[in-house]
Structure 1
Amino acid sequence: MTRSESEIRLLSTSAILGYGFPEASLAAGMARAPHMIGVDGGSVDPGPYYLGAGRPFCSVMAIRRDLRLMLRAAIGAGIPMVIGTCGGSGGAPHLALTAQLVREIAHEEGLHFRMALIEAEPARDDLLARAAAGRIHPLAGLPPLSSETIRKATRIVGMMGPEPFIEALDNGAQVVLAGRASDPAPWVAACTRAGLPPAPAWYAGKMLECGATPSIPKGHDCLMVTVREDHVDCEPMNPIRRCTPLSIANHSLHENSSPIHHIEPGGMLDTSDCRFDALSDRSVRISGMRWNPASQYTVKLEGVELAGHRALCICGTRDPMLIDRIDTFIAEVRDIVREKAEAFGATPDRYILTFRKYGLDGVMGEREPKRDATPHELGFIIEVVAGTQEVATAVLGIARTNMLHTDFPGRLCREGNMAFPFSPSDLEAGAVYRFSVYHVAEVDHPREFFPITYEEL
């Protein structure tokens, strides 16, 4: 049932499920009698692989540890435990993995509760029809979403807002596990059900989604946020950390193209008039936020498709004569690879060969502004992406061999140019995915992409 309260206390355990948190911080948070405990389950930050492969971003061992502690705390206190973007990416296999871990822990610990699972993979036929009707729009300069892109995608998820969480909680679920969700959405749901307005609810969610990251020193730890009608109070639960007006204001800038306008499902959080007032040396009150509802509710879509298979090799050199002519040397190696790979049928259109030069421009590539420094050593990651693992591994082998043995003027070492830290030197990294869907879909109802199932444990 919906309740009306003057405040709601929300405890976030960490930035992502599986990052870990101190048990003492969890205990300190539970001593404050929170109304809900939760954690964000994932992020798009690690790239497209985890969504495409259906694998979790964090290890299963680490996820299980965090889940066990959170379940004990929540069920023991009789409060909800809510997790969005389960398994790292929020696809069907990620949600299934997290749910199975919860079932196993519940059996081992003798815990009993109602669990809701909220799926986040829209039906392909629905997306095809919606795209054909002009109800899906591109983001970030991408082209319109074509039927071919929808069909080729390995997996497409929709980013839910708070509405599916509200429905699950209203239907008596004490544990709510969701697929891909806006990071603040579970917290907004709790605030909405408590009768609080959307502006402080969304601001609270922006703080809670990253655990104690809004504090200093930053770390993966527990954060308590108290939400009231016109303000939000933030305090880390670990005594070594503290929230300051600067740390909170700094955190509120993250993951947005605008420092003050935060686009979310159903509207925009405007922080342009926010005040940050220290309540103590460890806690901060934020006020002045505004919520502007959107005229059309949209759901962000994220999708990936298979881009090939990867093989890579790590090596390094300390030869000053080679370092002085490294760009010419790599160009010569490229030419040799092209010729030798063509001999066994791997023409240049069948692979992408990349040399990353760490110590020179390995991080920024062509954008590196410091070009006048001469390093005393260079590390290389040689990468090949091709349509099959066989071709990627074969081309990499040619590249690695010729990085090692290609001659150059003034060369003194006749055995090899490179040092290799590993044997085998060539590593098969498997499937490579790329983002292919980054669009928003118009919906008639915020819950229509997100079916919910319930089970009693």
Structure 2
Amino acid sequence: MRVLAPSGMLGAGWDHATVERGIALGADVISIDGGSTDSGPHYLGAATAKTTAKAVARDLRSLLTAAAAAGIPVIVGSCGTSGTDRGVDWVAGIAAEVMAEEGLDLEVARIYSEQDAAELKEHLDAGRIHPLPPLGELTAETLESCTHIVGAMGHEPIVEALRAGAQVVLAGRATDTAVAAAYPLMRGMPAGPTWHAAKIIECGGQCTGNPRAGGVLATIDAGGFTVEPLDPTVSCTPISVAAHMLYETANPFEMREPAGTLDVRDARYTALDDRTVRVEGSEFHFAGQYTIKLEGARITGYETMSFTAIRDPRVLAEIDAWAELMRTMITQRVGQTLGLADDEYAFDLRLYGHNAVLDDLEPESGPPREVGVMLLVNAPDQPTATAVAKVANPLMLHLPTPGMDYLPSFAFASSPAEVERGAAYEFVLNHVVDCDPAGLFRIEPGETRA
């Protein structure tokens, strides 16, 4: 079985010629991820996509026309970035427009993965929900606080949709690997090679020497699988393929799926030529209990941001002391002018160009040449967040160091300096629920829902 993975995400774009080459090489199915949790909790909390409708339409046109001509299915997982019901319907609506424009008549199935807090509380009360590190036991209040909750489906609901005749499967939140593993598993391919191949190709060309050049084709058989880039000028090597087991995994030798665990300790990676890699020895250990991972996000407040740039060498020579003074001054002035206590708002001050990424782990020392200062304020409502940022405005523009006897000038990135970011979200669910493979998901054919 040959699985064509054109890219790591729908909407990222690719050269259509690479898809055509995958079809010519005998692809049996096209699979692609539509999102993940990589981009943070906003997309799940707000049920919005990080990609544009035009980019998704462009990619779907490439996939649907090629798949229709070849008579093979297309599977998209985690539609709309986070896999909410709204995300599935958004992608389905775009797919319907593309098919109408191209004169395609394809059977579409939508798989919804969004979960109802009340139903999950029944699972919680029955002892069927368990925490994953580092979180502790789940409470009903946490479930109720989420704006959206999804379950990360395995391959089983996708297989059910395919067996019912779907030519295009648009799934809600799914494990990245389930999207690529579903069709081969349905056709009887062994679990070990299939899940390992799915992991390697989940991000398209990232397992090659040039991840910008397009996707890959995985060929799975009874003894293992091979991986080949779809761009003829790009190569896979044993190192580039094996290295992808390090990507987004806590353990480079194991990866948990709803049905069990992929084990690649004994996997062997062999170069068949200068472009293609053969992998053998992968195993899959089925678990005694099937589990689905839950993801949920809730609003933590509302944010306002401002950003200024510092080039003054005297300030930069004492940038840590300056930042500490800034924090003190903001707290004092907010209390004086707005009457807010410390627990009524929060702010973060980050020095880009000086330890903003690694903080205390930064190995380099010495004063920076220039620093971008980001102030991010969080409060229970937007007006309060903006008011705090406005109080900080003069400090962000002119605050001197303790030893300076004049006011320096800094440069705001925008006017007005305060940018309202709206609701801020946080992930609060990292739990699994004991269930049967399709029990938490709904499959619907036909047109999108209102």
Same fold (TM over 0.5): yes
Provide the residue aligned with 1:436 in structure 2. Answer: 428
Partner of 2:361: 367
Provide the residue aligned with 2:162 in structure 1. Answer: 169
CA shift in 2, pair 1:420/1:78, >3 Å? same
Aligned pairs for 1:139-158 within 5 A = 139-158=132-151
Q: Deviations over 1:129-187 (max 9, x none)?
A: 11111110111221111000000111110000000011000000000000000111122
Q: Deviations over 1:208-227 (max 9, x none)?
A: 21111100022261211100
1:67 maps to which of 60, 69, 72: 60
Q: CA deviation at 1:349?
A: 1.0
SS of 2:356's partner is: coil
Which amino acid letter does the alignment assign opposite residue 348 of structure 1? D
What amino acid does structure 2 have at the position aligned with 1:428?
Answer: E
- Partner residue, 2:442: 451
Q: Aligned residue for 1:422?
A: 414
Letter in 1 for 2:443: I
Distance 1:407 1:15 in 2: 47
Correspondences of 1:56-455 after superposition (within 5 Å): 56-219=49-212, 221-342=214-335, 343-370=337-364, 372-409=365-402, 411=404, 414=407, 416-443=408-435, 445-455=436-446
Q: Which runs of 5+ in 1 are unaligned?
A: 1-7
Residue 39 of structure 1 aligns to a residue whose secondary structure is strand
2:35–2:81 contact (8 Å) kept in structure 1: yes
Aligned-partner Cα distance in 1 for 2:151–2:9 = 19
Can you list the C-alpha shifts for 1:89-128, whole angstroms capped at 9, x where unaligned?
1011111100110111111111101111000012222200
- The root-mean-square deviation of aligned C-alpha atoms, in Å, is 1.5
Judge conservation of contact 1:10–1:35 (CA < 8 Å) in 2: yes
CA distance in structure 2 between the partners assigned to 1:126 and 1:30 by the alignment: 43
TM-score w.r.t. length of structure 2: 0.96
Cα shift at 1:264: 0.9
Partner SS for 2:38? coil
CA distance in 2, matches of 1:271, 1:248: 12
Q: Distance in 2 between matches of 1:179 and 1:218?
A: 26
Q: Which amino acid aligns with 1:448?
A: G
> In 2 relative to 1, CA 240–393 (structure 1 residues): closer, same or farther, beyond 3 Å?
farther
Confirm or deny: 8 A CA contact 2:315 2:400 kept in the other structure. no
Cα distance per residue 1:347-389 (max 9 Å; x no partner): 221211111111210111233233x321122111111111111
**When the two structures are aligned, how many residues end up with a matched partner?**
447
C-alpha deviation, 1:409, in angstroms = 4.8
Kept in 1: contact 2:32–2:180 (CA 8 A): no
Partner of 1:3: none
Q: CA deviation at 1:410?
A: 5.2
Kept after mapping to 2: 8 A contact 1:82/1:175? yes
The answer on whether the counterparts of 2:79 and 2:170 sit within 8 Å (CA) in structure 1 is yes
Q: Distance between the aligned counterparts of 2:159 and 2:413, measured in 1?
A: 52
Give the match for residue 4 of structure 1: none
Contact 1:18 1:63 in 2 (8 A): yes
Matches of 2:360 and 2:422, distance apart in 1? 27
Q: CA deviation at 1:413?
A: 5.6
Deviations 1:219-245 (A, max 9, x none): 261211100001110001112311000
Q: Shift of residue 456 of structure 1?
A: 6.9
The structural deviation recorded for 1:252 is 1.9
TM-score, length of structure 1 as denominator length: 0.95
1:174 and 1:162 map into 2 onto residues whose CA distance is 16
Q: Aligned partners of 1:261, 1:86: CA distance in 2, in Å?
A: 26
CA contact (8 A) 2:397 2:412 kept: no
> Does the residue aligned with 1:204 lie in a helix, a strand or coil?
helix
334-343 vs 101-110, which moves further: 334-343
SS at match of 1:85: strand
Aligned-partner Cα distance in 1 for 2:102–2:245: 38
Range 48-57 or range 343-352, more displaced: 343-352
Deviation at 1:327, TM superposition (A): 2.4
In 2 relative to 1, CA 315–143 (structure 1 residues): closer, same or farther, beyond 3 Å? same
CA deviations on 1:311-351 (whole Å, 9 max, x unpaired) are 11121111121122222222222232223222323322121
Question: Which moved further from structure 2: 254-263 or 295-304?
Answer: 254-263
CA contact (8 A) 2:8 2:205 kept: yes
